[in-house]
Structure 1
Amino acid sequence: MFAKSIKIPLFATPVWGFDLPEDDARAINAGLLSMLDAWFTPRPELRPGETWQTTHDLHEQNEFAPLYPFVDQAIQMSIEGLGLDDKNYVITGCWANINPPGGFHPPHTHPNNLISGVYYMQTPVSADEIIFHDPRPQAHVIHPVLTQPVPEVQTTIGVEAKPGRMLVFPSWLRHSVKPNYTNDERASLSFNVMLTDYVNKHSMPQWSGFRRDGKRA
């Protein structure tokens, strides 16, 4: 018999979660949702499964100002959590997503950024989760039958999304959103961050959707 046994978790992928105070979240969400409703009325026509997205300049809009201190604190804490010495950053893009009934986001990353985040304003029941995918291709080679869920061998992990919650994660981490099977819209705000010294060497975030003028991006 062994004198001691240990399990060493190697190469962990951090995902940070931050919940805003309820009163702040309620006021911020109301302002952002009102802005989006004005921008997307009437709603653009979509093909099945598509979502509405704004341009990536929401951090320059007045309605973003009340949320900015929380975004800044979350970014600073995440950069510190990565052990980085340089905490000077720039938001390279910030946009809103509206998932109508049937809308979803396929697995994707946010290229040419350091960290990315998402803040939730409205999450209907059964459309209240973001899925993160194991970035190691070898982890998908074999899937033995499990007696119970074990985090170390799961290739996807769902994290609860709820109004007032902000999640921050490495931009290279693949993530997705399952189809919205409710009759209500799911609304969130996403942002990308890059260290200031690198900002002249990276290209703009890659994304697709509908601009606020209703045209396809």
Structure 2
Amino acid sequence: MTKILSLFATRIYRAPLGGHAAEALRFELARSCDLLSMEDKAGQAWCKTQNYLGYTSYASLTDLPTRMSGFGDLKRRLDKHVARFSEQVGFELAGGKLKLDSLWVNVLPKGGVHSGHIHPHSVISGTYYVSVPDGASTLKFEDPRLAMMMAAPTRRPDSAQDLQPFIFLTPEEGEVILWESWLRHEVVMNRSTHSRISISFNYAWT
């Protein structure tokens, strides 16, 4: 009897942020992100130096959960999602815990991209989506085995999703998406005339 086993799964977690007044929090965070993009001169300077189209607080602000109450509320809600995802992927934390290591704002205007990358020194990474206008960037994930498929033919377009070399997800406003930090991903070009606003983060094992 022939058997086909599906092994070594790569799991992606998607869920509404949830909690009390989640939509009100999203609007509050949208205002905060806009304010930071205008007032964070160090972040603006870093983006200019790196030729980054748009704004990110990644290299300038490291204390957002304590600096602004909305980010503190977001952090508490993210903690619960990360704990659920940790259970789902079977992590044995051996008395340790997953703790928020960094959190930053991204404002991506029309034409903005974020090229393929991973998040070293972290266990779980993810993004909360504050504003996703029509035509905004998708999130692209890459099969981590690609570098070892030297002689493999390409996959048929109609093959199963878990066989595809790249997966494109369209985020929803108010949604949290989580993945293990070693998974290579990128944000494709924003084709909307409005900015795509998100808040990304890393959790480390402590």
TM-score range, shorter chain: 0.7 to 0.9
Structure 2 unmatched runs, 5+: none
Q: Distance in 1 between matches of 2:200 and 2:4?
A: 35
* Unpaired runs of at least 5, structure 1: 197-217
Q: Secondary structure at the match of 2:53?
A: coil
Find the counterpart in structure 1 of residue 53 from structure 2.
50
Contact 2:137/2:189 (8 A) holds in 1: no
Q: Which residue of 1 aligns with 2:77?
A: 70
State whether structure 2 residue 111 is matched by structure 1 residue 105: no
Give how far 1:15 is off: 0.9
Alpha-carbon contact 1:48-1:102 (below 8 Å) kept: no
Distance 1:57 1:79 in 2: 24
Give the structure 1 partner of residue 90 of structure 2.
83
RMSD: 2.4
The number of residues matched between the two structures is 193
**Aligned-pair distance for 1:189?**
0.5
Aligned twin of 1:207? none
Which amino acid counterpart does residue 80 of structure 1 have in structure 2?
Answer: E
Could you tell me which residue of structure 2 aligns to residue 194 of structure 1? Answer: 204
- The answer for the alignment partner of 1:95 in structure 2 is 104
Q: 1:145/1:115 Cα in 2 relative to 1: closer, same or farther (>3 Å)?
A: closer
User: For the Cα contact (< 8 Å) 2:37–2:107, is it kept in 1?
Assistant: no
Structure with the higher helix share, 1 or 2: 2
TM-score by length of 1: 0.79
Aligned to 1:215: none
Deviation at 1:140, TM superposition (A): 6.3
Do 2:128 and 2:198's aligned partners in 1 also have CA atoms closer than 8 Å?
Answer: yes
Q: Secondary structure at the match of 1:65?
A: helix
Q: 1:181 to 1:147 in 2, by over 3 A?
A: closer
Identity %: 27
Q: What is the SS of the residue equivalent to 1:18?
A: strand
CA shift for structure 1 position 124 = 1.6
Q: Which residue of 28, 46, 53 corresponds with 1:31?
A: 28
Cα deviation, residue 167, structure 1: 0.8
Runs of 4+ in 1 over 6 A off after TM superposition: none
